[in-house]
Structure 1
Amino acid sequence: MSAERSVHVVASGLVQGVGFRWHTLQQAEALGLTGWVRNLPNGDVEMFVQGGELVVETFLAWLREGPGYAQVRRLRVREAPRQGGLTGFTVR
């Protein structure tokens, strides 16, 4: 089993109004990740994701491409402290 990893992610580009949060939720749930996703006032989308290291890497690779009509121009990823008490993945 791989080590646990927690990351804070901000996606920039055409990531609002294109179903980005919904698709992110679906992908995170399919991979068994916990965390959340939300729109930011500046047009970016912010996420906190935690799970197995390899699964988080798979998720980040998916995010770099983005879903359908989204155009991810920049993905900022930084390691973050684990957040206890999270169950599942939510849209905020």
Structure 2
Amino acid sequence: MTKDTRVHIFVSGKVQGVYYRQNTLQKAQELGIFGWVRNLSDGRVESVMEGSRADIDKMLAWCKEGPLGAKVEEVKFIDEPYKNEFSTFDIIKSL
């Protein structure tokens, strides 16, 4: 599959304190998605991901459920131009 898709994601609800970022990291690695995830000071989780459209769609579906203990209220995402800028998926410093 061609890796040609990039999305910028914001997840709101009960998504901090429930290992959302760690589980996002594991799911992204499982799907071969690169990018990053972090907590925001307003309680949301933000992520930028690059991969194939099919894998990104699987990841977006997962983001709507999240890990056990999460209560996802909303997932907003913006398609962005693919940049091929990542070689890993990381949890980065929270804002």
Do they superpose with TM above 0.5? yes
Give, in angstroms, the shift of residue 4 of structure 1: 1.5
Q: Does 1:17 align with 2:17?
A: yes
Question: Deviations along 1:29-60, whole A, 9 cap, x unmatched?
Answer: 00000000000000000000110000100110
What TM-score do the two structures reach when normalised by structure 1?
A: 0.94
TM-aligned CA deviation for residue 84 of structure 1: 3.6
Amino acid at match of 1:38: R
Moved over 6 A (4+): none
Superposed CA RMSD in Å reads: 1.2
What TM-score comes out, normalization by structure 2 length? 0.91
Q: What is the correspondence of 1:36-47 to structure 2 with a 5 Å cutoff?
A: 36-47=36-47
Q: Cα distance, 1:90 vs. partner?
A: 0.2
8 Å contact 2:20–2:66 — kept in the other structure? yes
Structure 2 residues without counterparts, runs of 5 or longer: none
Alignment of 1:1-92 (within 5 A): 1-2=1-2, 4-92=4-92
Compared CA separation, residues 3 and 37, structure 1 to 2 (3 A)? closer
Q: Distance in 1 between matches of 2:48 and 2:86?
A: 10
Report the alpha carbon displacement of residue 85 of structure 1 after superposing the two structures with TM: 3.3
Quote the Cα distance in structure 2 between the aligned partners of 1:91 and 1:2.
Answer: 24
Paired residues in the alignment total: 92
Distance across 2 between alignment mates of 1:58 and 1:84: 19
> How high is the sequence identity, in percent, across the aligned residues?
39
